Chain A
Amino acid sequence: MRALLRNPKFLFGAFVLLALVFVAAFAPWLAPHDPMAQSLLNQLLPPRWAKGGDPSFLLGTDTLGRDLLSRMIHGTRPALLVMIAGATLSGLAGVVLGMLAGFFGGWLDTLVSRTVDTFMSFPPMLLAIVLAAAMGPGLGTVVISVVLIGWTRFCRVVRGEVLALREQEFVTSARTIGVSRSRILFHELLPNLLPLVIVLLGLEMGRAIVVEAIMSFIGFSSSGLATWGSIIADARSYINQAWWAMTYPIVAIIVMVLGLNALGDGLRQATDPVLQR
Chain B
Amino acid sequence: MSPAFLLRRLLLAVPTLFGVAVVVFVLLRIVPGDPIAMMVPGEATPEDIARLRESYGLDKSIPMQFVIYLDHLVRGDFGVSISLKQDVLTLVLGRLPATLELALVAITLSVTCGFTLALASTYWRGTWIESGVDAINSIALAIPEFLWAMLLILAFAVLMPLFPISGRIDPMRATAFATQFYLVESLVRGQFGLARELLGHLALPALALALPLIAVIARVLKSSLQEVMVQDYILLARIKGFSNLRILTREALPNALLPTITLTGVHFIFLVGGTVLVELIFAYPGIGNMLFGAASNRDLPLIQGVTLVFALLFILLNIAIELSYALVNPRLRH
A residues sitting closer than 8 Å to B (CB atoms) are: 118, 121-126, 129-136, 207, 210, 213-214, 217-219, 232, 236, 239-240, 243, 246-247, 250, 253-254, 257-258, 261
Contacts and interface: CB of A to CB of B under 8 A. Distances in A.
Interface in B219-265: none
Contact of B292 (A131, A218, A250): A218
Given A130-B303, A213-B146, A239-B158, A122 B314 contact: yes
Given A129-B295, A130-B307, A210-B144, A246 B276 contact: no
A210 B296 CA distance: 21
27 contacts: A121-B318, A123-B269, A123-B276, A124-B273, A125-B288, A126-B307, A129-B276, A129-B292, A130-B28, A130-B307, A132-B295, A133-B296, A134-B27, A135-B31, A210-B144, A214-B277, A236-B150, A236-B281, A239-B158, A243-B154, A246-B150, A250-B151, A253-B147, A254-B147, A257-B147, A258-B142, A261-B142
Interface of B: 16, 19-20, 24, 27-28, 30-31, 33, 142-144, 146-147, 150-151, 153-154, 157-159, 165, 269-270, 272-274, 276-277, 280-281, 288, 291-292, 294-296, 298, 303, 307, 310-311, 314, 318
Contacts of B27: 130-131, 134
Nearest to B276: A125
B280 to A, nearest CB: 7
B24 A246 contact: no
A123 B303 contact: no
A125 B307 contact: no
Majority SS at the chain A contact face: helix
Nearest to B318: A121
Interface of B (DSSP majority class): helix
A257 B150 contact: no
Given A218-B292, A243-B158, A258-B142, A136 B31 contact: yes
Contacts of B24: 130
Contacts of A232: 150
A240 B158 CA distance: 6
Contacts of B307: 126, 130
A142 B131 CA distance: 39
A135 B269 CA distance: 27
Given A130-B295, A132-B295, A236-B153, A214 B146 contact: yes
Nearest to A123: B273
Contact of B298 (A133, A210, A214, A247): A133
Contacts of B270: 123
Contacts of A130: 24, 27-28, 295, 303, 307
B269 A121 contact: yes
Nearest to B303: A133
Contact of A247 (B20, B154, B165): B154
A257 B288 CA distance: 26
Given A130-B24, A130-B307, A210-B147, A250 B272 contact: no
Given A124-B273, A129-B291, A246-B153, 4 more contacts: A123-B314, A134-B27, A214-B146, A261-B142
